[in-house]
Amino acid sequence: MLSLILPEIVIAVAAILILLTGFKFKKISGYIALLGIVVSLISLFAIQPINTTADSTAAITIAEGIGLFYNVGLLAVVFKFIFLIVGLMAVIASLKYTEKFISAKIFDAYYALILFAILGMMVVASADDLLTLFVGLEMAAIPAYVLVATEKTKKGIEGAAKYFLFGAVFSAILLFGISLIYFSTGSLMLDQIGILCLGEDENLKLLTFIGVLAIMLGLAYEMSAAPFHFWAPDAYQGAPSPVSALLAGASKKMAFVALLKISVVFMVLFKFELSVMLAILAILSMVVGNVLALAQKDVRRMLAYSSIAQVGYILAAIAIFTPLGIAYAIYYIIVHAFMKGGAFIAAGALLFVSDGKIKNYDDYKGLLRTAPITAIAMAAFMLSLAGIVPFGGFTAKILVLVELFVQAMANNIIALILGIVMIITSFISLYYYGRLIKNMWFVEPEGMKHSNDENGEHNEQHNEHKEVKYDKFKEPLAFVIPMFIAVIALLILFYAPPFVEICTNIVESLGVK
């Protein structure tokens, strides 16, 4: 039965191996991390056929007298795959990014922390009790606090401080909620709590509701839903771009997995209350994320606010608590992992090739001519985030909107409000996504030498009938590969039926009706 947790074992062993060898062989730390993730992916595919249609809890014997209840169903397998793929993209990009922006003295710590963060996410995906869920969340969050500050810049340290201090507070709130649920039900097992809290004691029901509310607040912070988003812009802007990709592409998804597990358990008892809570978070996230993204000059900061808005779209699908709504939310989560993770890696690639100079919108002018591969990839990510064909973001957004208005026609006022807000804010987002594409594709580069003029001066008469050429940046393969993975994934995800079927199977396995 240990084969069921082999992916986690591989990641843990790779992280420990980096720490044991990194003090002497720091330069190979990244390749050890890369190998660990690849082997973990292979081992994950090996256990996938065990259970592909329904979630189950396996009793895994670690040693004599020591057992572990671990979920190895479709939900866990799919999200572990997402965590590992996004982690793979982040590690590949880090192989080059670390050369310029991170001290060689901490290479081993940097890659080990990435692996420990991924390990925590995988634990959350398979957690079948609230205590294991909390341990997994903290195992992923604590390395992230340190990773945000690894560039040792003022922005990075400030972002890490905010992330850590507020994270500690909301972790305590989350733990408080778990303790209240344990007090009112006498169990931490997710499959038992839903049955035990159906009693007639109103006081215990109130305690349970307060506990659920506290857990929701903790998870809302982790996924950076407004108004608990205040850490995200600073952390995403100050962190190394591969780390921002990991946080936006994987860490947020971990919080959604936890939210799905909790929501499904308490949906029977508090369906209306949970629906209203999630709808409020969704509306605030869509409005705050999109409106504040309009005012940003730094592209990574814009991507952070955009990520908050995308959280709102996903929460809108979950809030209506229909099987199709939750299935489409899971599909949106998968799509979002690639488009947001890819966007941060593209931003990191431009920082790398320009020695940290390409940060703001104006710096992106003419990138189609000076960094064509990255400009094309970034445009693909922006189009997907905006919900434009032919990328997965279009399909995900349309499916969520259709389900919202189907429920609105069935007199669900919450679905109607969410659908209207989603449409309005999606139109707002077109401006800041389109502005970036315009700068990259349709504006001439500034401050660049023409390759056909050694003195950097342009003779208009001489070049009147000649195409002007600009010096191009050398785009490293370490950034091109993860961007290529993300773009191909978004093109494949545009065709939704097979993926929606998987998501529907996950919903059925969760028991949502």
Instruction: Place 206 in a pLDDT band, splitting at 50, 70 and 90.
Output: confident
What mean pLDDT comes out for the span 22-47? 88
Domain membership of residue 99 (yes or no) is yes
Name which of 64-68, 166-170, 317-321, 461-465 the model is least confident about.
461-465
Domain membership of residue 458 (yes or no) is no
| Model pLDDT, residue 462 | 46
Between 338 and 184, where is the model more confident? 338
Region of 292 (left: φ > 0; alpha: ψ -120 to 50; beta: rest) is alpha
| Model pLDDT, residue 199 | 63
Mean pLDDT of the chain: 88
| Model pLDDT, residue 344 | 96
Counting residues of the chain whose pLDDT is more than 90, the rounded percentage is: 67
Q: What does the block give as tokens for 408?
A: 């609105």
Domain membership of residue 463 (yes or no) is no
Where is mean pLDDT largest: 20-34, 37-51, 411-425? 411-425
CA distance 445 to 346: 18
Evaluate if residue 132 carries a pLDDT over 60: yes
Domain membership of residue 491 (yes or no) is yes
Residues 279-314 have pLDDT tens digits of: 999 999 999 999 999 999 999 999 999 999 999 999
Instruction: Place 191 in a pLDDT band, splitting at 50, 70 and 90.
Output: confident
Between 106 and 464, where is the model more confident? 106
Between 477 and 103, where is the model more confident? 477
The residues near 140 (Cβ < 8 Å, ≥ 6 apart) are: 117, 118, 119, 120, 121, 123, 124, 251, 254
Q: What is the CA radius of gyration of the chain?
A: 23
Instruction: Place 62 in a pLDDT band, splitting at 50, 70 and 90.
Output: low
Looking up tokens 């208009």, which residue turns up? 460
CA distance 335 to 256: 13
Evaluate if residue 465 carries a pLDDT over 50: no
Evaluate if residue 88 carries a pLDDT over 80: yes
| Model pLDDT, residue 447 | 56
Evaluate if residue 156 carries a pLDDT over 60: yes
Rounded (5°) CA angle 426-428-503: 15
DSSP 454: T
Q: What does the block give as tokens for 270?
A: 């508090």
Domain membership of residue 477 (yes or no) is yes
Evaluate if residue 366 carries a pLDDT over 50: yes
The residues near 154 (Cβ < 8 Å, ≥ 6 apart) are: 238
Helices (H) and strands (E) in the chain, counts: 19, 2
| Model pLDDT, residue 60 | 61
Domain count, the chain: 1
Secondary structure of 62-79 in HEC code, one letter for each residue: EECCEEEEEECCHHHHHH
Looking up tokens 């802007």, which residue turns up? 237
Domain membership of residue 129 (yes or no) is yes
Domain membership of residue 88 (yes or no) is yes
Residues 443-454 have pLDDT tens digits of: 887 655 544 444
| Model pLDDT, residue 51 | 45
Evaluate if residue 419 carries a pLDDT over 60: yes
Q: What are phi and psi of 459, to 5 degrees?
A: -90, 100
Name which of 21-30, 106-115, 224-233, 481-490 the model is least confident about.
21-30
Q: What does the block give as tokens for 276?
A: 């209203």
Domain membership of residue 464 (yes or no) is no
Between 452 and 481, where is the model more confident? 481
Domain that holds residue 291: 2-451+469-510
Counting residues of the chain whose pLDDT is more than 70, the rounded percentage is: 89
Evaluate if residue 461 carries a pLDDT over 60: no
Evaluate if residue 330 carries a pLDDT over 80: yes
Instruction: Place 10 in a pLDDT band, splitting at 50, 70 and 90.
Output: very high
**Alpha-helical runs (H) found in 149-251:** 154-185, 190-196, 202-222, 232-238, 241-246
At residue 450, the 3 state secondary structure works out as strand
What mean pLDDT comes out for the span 181-190? 86
